[in-house]
Structure 1
Amino acid sequence: MSHEFLPAVKKHLRTAVGFYCSAPHCGKQTNVFNRDRLLEQYDGDAAHIYGANPGSARHADLPSGWERDGAENGIWLCATCHRQVDQNAGLFPGDLLERWKKWAEEAHELGYRRMNRNTHASADIREDLERAKQFVSGIWPAVEGFRNCYSSVASESRWDTYRSISPLATRIIRTLGGGGNWGWNNSHQHWTFVEDFQLWQTELVRLASILSSYPAFKISNRDSEVDWRHVRIPHETKPFSSTLVFHDETAAAIYLFIQQVYRFDDFLNEYRGTSHHSFSMLQKDRY
């Protein structure tokens, strides 16, 4: 039996959050008015917190008394975040999505999302923007190391697909995720008070903390090899772009982390302040 939300439930989910993606770090506005067609269009989805069908993400964790297709089991996400949370349940557990939903609904009630949120009183946006860029720069060597691993493996190949994670990449992820003396709080040199940046930074720290618990990132583990076997799937709406789907859980989690780093980097490069934020319609194929 296929499960899908009723139109009334979908409407409730998107209006309860003001049509913004419920992921706090993303917050993309998902409704756009098409002037030519005089229609409102949505770049968002009503996603199941606990998967719709057997085998789907978090399906077995549905709380007692919840309806599979009820509003309580739905969350409004942009298309990108929806795809990510469904492709890697280990990085996006149900209780996290529940917290996202609650935060987004409360934020909307207060009129508080990306387009009109106030920055910290002591924040200097230009200084915080530079600190956020330095934050990304510190992660970049790990991203390049991961890319070197999977880019050397031919798509759909089943032979010679194992590559070792470099000690530098391991150290960066473990430090970022709390395995070292990262100290992720307002005393850290890259901490930002502009919440547009801080939410993204906190999300990357969260993901790194999960990655650092994987066996491949254990310092004592001499065998840090990961199976990078993958297939390349063309984007339906982005010509000359594609995404990779990995066979191994660790490789898939690392790839998602890379995608999030690139999304934050794009966000910083396009940032125009809390009163105006433009999203590029064209994304270069970095994946």
Structure 2
Amino acid sequence: MACSRGAAAPDAHTQKRLFAASAGYCQNPGCAQLLFSDEAGKSIHIAEMAHVYAASDEGPRANAAMTREERGAFENLIVLCSNCHTRVDKAPDAFPDSMMLGWRREHARKLEAVFGAVRLESRRDVHALIEPLLTENRAIFTQYGPHIEAALNPESGAAERWKRKMLTRIIPNSHKMLAILDMNRHLASSSEKITLEQFRQHVDDLQAFHIEGIHQDGSRFPVDFARIMEN
């Protein structure tokens, strides 16, 4: 999701917020194209960051009153597939700023419904909602994670498969769980709130490595998270 617009380009933190907000789908509600996919065994993405108000005074939907920093801010950006990005910039009169900001709001509402990010009555209900996501992530890690024997062979394709699963399943699943738990934070114990924040940092570090290519010693998955709100 690169954007070379100087001060009008989003920083790393903003890029991560944008990826989280999109959940891996084009934010045009009439499109909702999956931005990361598997094609012939390769992981590809068609995600592009588009400016609602143009990055320059000559661009589409330009607003000369905005500073360059404001143009590169989270609130002025939307994640689109390459086709939608081309359309909104080549025909700005057909896609005014009010429409594009509305897309962002509609996308957020849809994700709340899809993620099940609603207030629930009991801790058991919360755990029941996240348990399938936990199970899928655990199964993927067990089968494709960097600890498997094939990962030691650079020609096996194991690293590419792991990255593909990380981008298309594990990270999106993790954002779903965060959305659900944040909505039901009032049901969590003090220790569970700490575990939740540890998991949030773990997800952030996964994104930094697998999306931004930042090589660092990331935080480990907090083992207590697997039992959060279990009883």
Provide TM-score, normalisation by structure 2. 0.42
Greater strand proportion: 1
RCO comparison, higher one (Cα < 8 Å, 6+): 2
